[in-house]
Structure 1
Amino acid sequence: MPPSAKRAARAAFLGFGVDYFDIYLPVVALAPAIHYFQPTSISPTLESTLFYVTFAVTLIGRPIGSAIFGSLSDKIGRRRSTLIAVAGFTVATMLMAALPGYATWGWAGLGCLMALRLIGGVFMGGEYTSANPLALEACPKSRRGIVGAFVAAAYPVGYIAISVVTLPLLAWLPKAGPGSAYSVWGWRIPFVVGGILGLAFFWYFYRSIEESKVWQASSEPAKRRQPIRELGRGTNVRRLVQAFVLMSGLWFAVQAIISPTSSLLINSLKQDPGAVTAALLFSNAVLFAGYLWLGHLGQRYGRRKVLIIAGAGTGTVSAVMFLLAVSILDGGGNFVLAMVLYTVALVIGVSPYGIATVYLLEAFPTRVRASGYGIAYSFSLIIPSCYSFYMLGLSSVMPYAYTPVPLIVLSGVLTVIGAKLGPETRDTEFAEA
């Protein structure tokens, strides 16, 4: 690829990685210290639910950001929109690192944490909505599948990075009780690191990345565009509905397999926090390879066909592997074996994201590409992001630790239906006359 395309791909990968580093700060860094923001008298189930809500508010903010910044990206350009978004979530992350806990502010501390997570989520939604279209518009069609997978694979890299930062802190600092060193100040260090990474990415993007030439060459003047309105017409709205179904399926896999796992293992199944963090680091390293492999298969055999097969695997194999992993730990069995089975469930269920980014970007024309991609990618997250409440409801008919399994099955069903409803996009041309 030309040098400008390589720089754009690297920038989208780095930006997505910093984005996911910040998103999963509560899951990895704050999970062992969440009681710092809560009274000691609450039940373990309510503690887990409040923890999930703290994570979910970020995911709710992302759709708002995707609508705002998708429209900005289509109107003022991908580059400027990305810079504004990165600056916003960097400031929000830094502010979270300074928050006091329940002993000082009572419930207000947790309220401020959730408010900042929501605001940060808005800006995070703007980052990928702007930077990812720029990267894919810069690369040749024959390389688009693997570049899209490379950009999407920043998720496990971001998760690995935050685990590498958090693991030594969990090993070196006392972590028992709300007054322990890790609970009071240790968890703040990964948040500060996230803010520094945001500043570094902002500087790199500002100095190195050019505006998308495909966007600049678009036939309609940017100032006249009304991308959100145009998405509600004709082919665009049909494609938006189909993408919403597909992405809802993929998001249910993420929310069922990834989001609750750390808290389930630590709080419900009573596993050691350090061992959990190390095991999940390994699982996500394998997931990185899964993203690239699915991207390669999508480029070779077609995005739609591979998504259909992957969805079927999620609803069957991934669900069974997750069930077996929980059963082993629930019965006091081998932790390593359980985490190997969990890794299989993770890779099968979440690797289709290696195709999702490029598939959505190929689905919409240049003048509404960022808006269509951002809204399809992010608004489909709203229903799955309430997974903690679905798990709470399912716990009335099954043990709480097993409640992600029905959601994984639902993920596979929706993914297959969404992919079947849509066209193949592999041969789409981005350039416009």
Structure 2
Amino acid sequence: MSTSPLSATPPDVAGKNSTSRVIFASFIGTAIEFYDFYVYATAAALVIGPVFFPHGSATAQALSAFVTFGIAFVARPIGSFLFGHFGDRIGRKSTLVASLLVMGLSTTLIGFVPGYDSIGSLAPILLCILRFGQGIGLGGEWGGAALLATENAPAGKRGWFGMFPQLGPSIGFLASNGLFFGLALSLSDEQFRSWGWRVPFIVSAVLVALGLYVRLKIAETPAFQAAIDRQERVRVPVATLLSQHWRPTILGALAMVVCYTLFYNATTFSLSYGVSTLHIPRPTFLGMLCVAVVFMALATPLSAWAADRFGRKPVLVVGILAAILSGFAMAPLLGSGSMPLVLLFLIIELFLMGVTFAPMGALLPELFPTNVRYTGAGVSYNLGGILGASVAPYIAQVLAAHGGLSWVGAYVSCAAAVSLLGVLCMRETRHTQLM
């Protein structure tokens, strides 16, 4: 059975899963989830090191903070296995609600963890546990949101519908970065380090309540309901995935590497480098990131439209080739210390992130059949996170310290080349029917 328009679904499902409700439910969840994740990324670049890892060296503090940043990416595939199992066995809706709760609770509690000065070594331990919880929740979020959009999409518009979860990160980043920007402007450095950085984590609780309200009002997707009716659910989705669909899982993970590397080197590493090495004021750099991420948001619908019109692979190949070339621009642009050139670098990297990220909302679900689609899409997405993001800021920090920004740029180009290999080896999925 092919993906059909929403109007072709049963009346009770069509009423609950109207186009506007599907779009909002798939978008709002990823926006909130990525808000939570980016709050930590920003805090890691600015304050986590001094608060939880009081080493004598600022570099050692930054490296320790980026290690905790990477913990969540290790947890994300575990979350995709866990939530993917229930998403493919029980359903998309209830699993999406559970993943949002886990992520939101972990993020909110980080805002209440005392620093090292208050409780000693217990502070970084608690931080790592909650950071792991963040990763578990996010590991189950994206796959379900992408399936909610694509399994409800009209024929020929899966790329466009799959774009809405991909817009969530831009909005989530703007919200988190904008809040940090406002705090940086209104608080002194002492106030910000003492308590101000905790505010964005605690605000997450309000956003999660909004996301839960929306998610609880949607119905199960037509494709999953049809699989239930045909009794096609498998007992252990991950076993079926690894035994029968390991190749698209690996290729999907490789394709995702460029997205993660572009984003986290343009934001987390560049923010840390810009503030600590280039001595750009924190509010100024945060403001530039807010401007640059708008270009990421603009690139997302353009790339999704092109992916529906020309295919997933052509759009990705063009975007990845541009990403390879962008690595050579890092040293002359970011390293210049000139505000216009630094902003240009951030815009280029985040625009290319939008170009390469948008087609993934449709591509990864299209690689797998319905009975393992939640697990497969989520595992591919999050394995790509381990390869492209978990250690990206850490590696970039080490490379910058030993070889300068040209080495970091080479790292970005190599990561993009890995994704190019994955995309060239996979099949075109634009005309695939979601059975």
TM-score normalized with structure 1 length: 0.91
Cα distance between partner residues in 1 of 2:68 and 2:155: 40
Residue 244 of structure 1 is matched in structure 2 by 253
How does 1:29-428 map onto structure 2 within 5 Å? 29=43, 31-38=45-52, 40-175=54-189, 180-206=190-216, 208-218=217-227, 220-221=230-231, 224-234=234-244, 236-316=245-325, 318-329=326-337, 334-384=338-388, 385-395=390-400, 397-399=402-404, 401-428=405-432
Moved more, 44-53 or 351-360: 44-53
Contact 1:26 1:54 in 2 (8 A): no
Cα distance change of structure 1 residues 39 and 205 upon mapping to structure 2, 3 Å threshold: closer
Equivalent pairs, count: 419
Letter in 1 for 2:148: L
Cα distance change of structure 1 residues 149 and 224 upon mapping to structure 2, 3 Å threshold: closer
Cα distance change of structure 1 residues 34 and 402 upon mapping to structure 2, 3 Å threshold: farther
Contact 1:225 1:367 in 2 (8 A): no
SS, match of residue 254 in structure 1: helix
Give CA-to-partner distance per residue, 1:75-100, whole Å, 9 cap, x none: 00000111111111121112111111
Residue 16 of structure 1 is matched in structure 2 by 30
Contact 1:20 1:155 in 2 (8 A): yes
Give CA-to-partner distance per residue, 1:295-331, whole Å, 9 cap, x none: 1111111101111111111101x213322222211xx
SS, match of residue 386 in structure 2: coil
- Structure 2 stretches lacking a partner, 5+ long: 7-16
Q: What is the deviation of 1:388?
A: 3.9
Contact 2:289 2:346 in 1 (8 A): no
Contact 1:220 1:367 in 2 (8 A): no
Q: What is the deviation of 1:267?
A: 1.7
Contact 1:8 1:138 in 2 (8 A): yes
Moved more, 334-343 or 303-312: 334-343
Letter in 2 for 1:213: P
Cα distance change of structure 1 residues 7 and 101 upon mapping to structure 2, 3 Å threshold: same
Give CA-to-partner distance per residue, 1:146-172, whole Å, 9 cap, x none: 121222021111100112222221111
Residue 13 of structure 2 is matched in structure 1 by none
Give CA-to-partner distance per residue, 1:114-164, whole Å, 9 cap, x none: 210111210121122223212210111222111212220211111001122
The Cα RMSD (Å) is 1.9
- Structure 1 stretches lacking a partner, 5+ long: none
Cα distance change of structure 1 residues 126 and 410 upon mapping to structure 2, 3 Å threshold: same
TM-score normalized with structure 2 length: 0.91
Cα distance between partner residues in 1 of 2:335 and 2:111: 37
Contact 2:269 2:396 in 1 (8 A): no
Identity %: 23
Q: What is the deviation of 1:216?
A: 0.9
Contact 1:313 1:412 in 2 (8 A): no
Cα distance change of structure 1 residues 108 and 403 upon mapping to structure 2, 3 Å threshold: farther
